[in-house]
A and B are shown apart, each in its own frame.
Chain A
């Protein structure tokens, strides 16, 4: 805070009760900062990685960079906007997006553009949107809400339409629990059916992992965790047997001699060539060869041009974002926020992990964007939405208002939010 100018201090003083003022003091500024740092790294990497790709497909050099900056601005705006919402508004927004997204995914199956053998995109206002990207954060929120309802109350869904705190009081009286798990599982299966019809296995894996993480956080006994792991492995085995491209990729990962590992080899060479300090911005050469250097292999471009030191810093920022977000939850007494943020951060962390793991050949090659770094329209917008929700749910205000449930809550509400501890 010391770096802030007096004027800003004045404007955003702790006693400032204005909308923006209370947002500024309640939002997790460290988390916000790390996300903005990722976005900045992303702009730099897309700037250096995308021109060769654009040249290859006959576009102007900065086509991708311009679009990336444009979409990133939109994405960050969405993030900031969503971060100002209350938990209740977040859940409502998510419900609407989930419903709309599911309908859009159904439409994609019939009217979608087919690219490289998969129907995932619909055209909207000149942009190709991938509805499944928006499904992920929305599902995380809705699932968290439904599970937390079952956890923290015994009320029926109809009752919670009323005042939030009242519903919890009502819950105390009710003996039968809200069957949140059942609804969530039902919803999950509908969504993965839609995803597998496209087919989009990567997204299915992410969605499943998010859901699994939420169930685990919600308190699934560890022995069920083993069962869950078994089911996941079984699912992947089925995918291996059922999808030819999946089998081919996994075979090539397990037995490098069995097929063409050209892309992965180039990616590994990028890191080797980069070394500790990197070749310098714009000096890399693997981006001339790597397909999707600006998206699925942007991590390798970073490794070549900026070296291991930059890669470690990048991994550090991702890890900081994750741990910071999860750490905030430890002070949070609201099961909904815990589950939602846990799910959303798993989504972020897992996507980054798969992207990085593919690039260094620790995981089978899977085209996945690096959150906030890679070029990728829908993905970056959806990430903005998801992280906006994380910021919204980790705001101090929400802790104060929701965490001390029951009797404690009233007292807490009387006290001012401003009395909470500083970070």
Chain B
């Protein structure tokens, strides 16, 4: 009985036991499936990494860097920055892959020896610092960024396993300092920081090339002659521009001092400053171009109109004097030729404040210039503009502009009367409608202005600007800088000249400005525009003529437009009918 009971119990428990085991086996299958699934996911993930994403190259700072994959990745990651060319297709800026040398100190067994060998390749290497880096515990140290292929070859020849290369896009400016302030520069990461590199960042960064209106040959000539003037007159700086008189294209633009844009990091503030577009100067007598034009254009003035320059004009405690005082009544050409401040002030008075200001505004002398670089200075105009301001602004006092701005306005006056908008970047689309021309003065008045410009060179203050055979005209301007204590400083001058040629139908407008020149023996101690800036003009035009192939025989002295003015010149020393009358400052 007991035995039967026991057997029954045993069977029951056996049954329970089997059921538990059955369930356990089911759970084992579940466990196995979970693991199988998880491992399958890992396997798929490895497939994803190794095959689908396979051979993706390493990131910066890694030991193996120079494999092909790296370069592919970088090309995908960053579009190569566009090149910059001049109008003839000469390269101004390009982007090259340059190697940068680094060391993995852990793989360098003899730091001393390696340092010595590196110093042989890079003579300017800081040996103490390099040795310290190579003996250090870090796994990465830059030796030199952006090395040349030759240097890289020499490094490879060392066979040192601890030295490696990273390849980076490097901006190269083959022309160095030639067009510093207009081209500008970009940083290592391809961000434009100045010039068209900055203002055309979007275009360049998307891989598009940029064609400038510059002509490197003219650029070189202008820079050379300005540099020579700075040297000769121990000036603190200079600026100059050559414009196409009709289109406003900047053929050359220079600001000195400049610097090699390949080494932008070491440029001083003085070097970085663009006197051409950012500097704002009182440019003095050159403004007589605009007050004279205003007289002719806005109040129908005639060349025969006279202005009494016998004595200075007094305004309050100031007086307006003439530098080349004639102490008589002057016609308009005489005012222009002798650069009479009194005459110009009286012309301005005749025009009237409103009209003069409006005319200046039309010429773009009041508002900041619109240009293809962003380093643009805002003009300083009298504020408030009183009657006295009109008088002084007529001969360029109390009003400051950038040299480029003045050159553009001057070009507008002599090119037939159409407003000149200077541009640096060649028109990309030829499809667009022809540019709208804005007339600022009449053709007739423009021709009168041309004759006046020519007169200044033949008989006026800018005889030194003349080049026989090239029909040059222009206007000088000598202004005293504002001194430290207010008022003008007689010793610190801005000597400038704006000119054009050929004067019967100007094709080129050239502006020269020399900042704080000092007179020398050759100039009898003078540092005025006629002695400093005008000769630069002559040299620049001489170079331009040979570069551009402009023949000298196109000019017929007998038909010189200056003869149109003969009847307005009443100077006793002036012999009528002779163009090249000697005249002394």
Contacts and interface: CB of A to CB of B under 8 A. Distances in A.
B9 interface: yes
Interface in A245-298: 265, 268-269, 271-276, 285, 288-289
B58 A326 contact: no
Given A276-B51, A315-B43, A285 B64 contact: yes
Interface stretch (B31-39, B173-181, B354-362, B552-560): B31-39
Contacts of B7: 407
B102 to A, nearest CB: 15
Main secondary structure of the interface of B (DSSP, over half): helix
Contacts of B30: 216
Interface residues of A, number: 54
B144 interface: no
A333 B28 contact: no
- Candidate in B38, B50, B55, B106 with the most chain A CB atoms within 10 angstroms: B50
Contacts of A360: 42, 45-46, 49
A244 interface: no
Contacts of A199: none
Contact of B17 (A268, A288, A405): A405
Interface string A182-217: 000000000000000000000000000000010011
Nearest to A278: B50
Contacts of B58: 269, 273, 285
Interface in B397-438: none
B138 interface: no
A353 B31 CA distance: 13
B36 A216 contact: no
Given A152-B17, A289-B62, A315-B43, A272 B36 contact: no
Contacts of A151: 17, 20
A338 interface: yes
A380 interface: no
B10 interface: yes
A99 interface: no
Nearest to A333: B21
Contact of A330 (B25, B41, B42, B46): B25
B572 interface: no
Contacts of A303: 46, 49-50
Nearest to B107: A288
A35 interface: no
B24 A274 contact: no
B21 A319 contact: no
Given A151-B20, A335-B21, A405-B17, A213 B31 contact: yes
Interface of B: 6-7, 9-10, 13-14, 17, 20-21, 23-25, 27-32, 35-36, 38-39, 41-43, 45-47, 49-51, 53-59, 62-64, 106
18 contacts: A217-B24, A219-B27, A276-B51, A276-B54, A288-B63, A303-B46, A303-B49, A308-B46, A315-B42, A326-B28, A326-B31, A338-B21, A342-B28, A353-B42, A406-B10, A406-B13, A407-B7, A407-B10
Interface of A: 55-56, 151-152, 171-173, 213, 216-219, 265, 268-269, 271-276, 285, 288-289, 303, 307-308, 311-312, 315, 318-319, 322-323, 326-327, 329-330, 333, 335, 338-339, 342, 345-346, 349, 353, 356-357, 360, 362, 405-407
